[in-house]
Amino acid sequence: MSINELDEAAIQNMLHANSGKTAVFLFTPLCGTCKIGERMLEIAQLTGISVPLYKLNINYAPRLREQWQITSVPCLIILENGMPLQKEYAMKSVDHIYLMLK
């Protein structure tokens, strides 16, 4: 199961329409650590997390990068009602990610 990739405009539209929790994984295609983090998220997603999960290439999201003050990738950002609730830069383990998203 792969994580749905959205562009910046789609994420912004979704956040305006969505109330509740959402998770967005920010990455760059050439980042090896991002690929490992994405794989961990895919495994956590297979276990049946309740939070909707999307991914966003940070290279094409300058407004959100600035708005959310993203300092590096990979970054998993948990949003509630469209506002950042938590930012996780260290993808420690599948278990850690699962507990954040359940």
* Cβ-contact 47, 96 below 8 angstroms: no
- Per-residue pLDDT of 15-74, as tens digits, reads 888 778 999 999 999 999 999 999 999 999 999 898 999 999 999 999 999 999 999 999
* Distance spanning both ends of the chain, measured CA to CA: 17
Task: Note the pLDDT of residue 17.
Answer: 81
How far apart are the C-alpha atoms of 4 and 1, rounded to whole Å? 9
CATH class of 4-101: alpha beta
The domain segmentation of the chain, as residue ranges, is 4-101
Band of residue 5 on the pLDDT scale cut at 50, 70, 90: very high
**How many of the other CB atoms lie within 10 Å of CB of 72?**
11
